[in-house]
Amino acid sequence: MRPIDDPSSLTPDERLSEVATILAGGVLRLHARAALSGGNLGRENSLNSGPAGLEVSEETVLSVHSG
């Protein structure tokens, strides 16, 4: 999409194409960053996620109170 285009004038197919182009550019930049960092980009992100990741800690108690 050119900067002068009004997004509201795009057809649904043109909007989908624009979104796909933006996402593809982001994926390409992510791969380029990984290549520049020696391919360790995924490993670095996993190290920053913390020891538990998405797991619920053992201390968490889930309960529902009614009324």
Structure confidence by residue, pLDDT tens digits, 3-49: 556 778 889 998 899 999 999 999 999 999 888 887 655 555 555 55
What per-residue confidence (pLDDT) applies to 27? 94
**What's the CA gap between 3 and 24, in Å, rounded?**
18
Kindly report whether the global pTM for this prediction surpasses the value 0.85. no
| Inter-residue contact 32 to 41 (CB < 8 Å) | no
What per-residue confidence (pLDDT) applies to 17? 92
| Inter-residue contact 41 to 49 (CB < 8 Å) | no
| Count of alpha carbons within 13 angstroms of residue 22, beta-carbon side | 8
Query: Is residue 63 included in any domain, yes or no?
Result: no
Query: Is residue 66 included in any domain, yes or no?
Result: no
- Residue of higher predicted confidence among 8 and 62: 8
Q: Domain of 38?
A: 11-47
Query: Is residue 37 included in any domain, yes or no?
Result: yes
Residues 60-65 have a mean pLDDT of 68
The SS3 of residue 19 is helix
Query: Is residue 32 included in any domain, yes or no?
Result: yes
What per-residue confidence (pLDDT) applies to 35? 84
| Token pair belonging to 62 | 């889930």
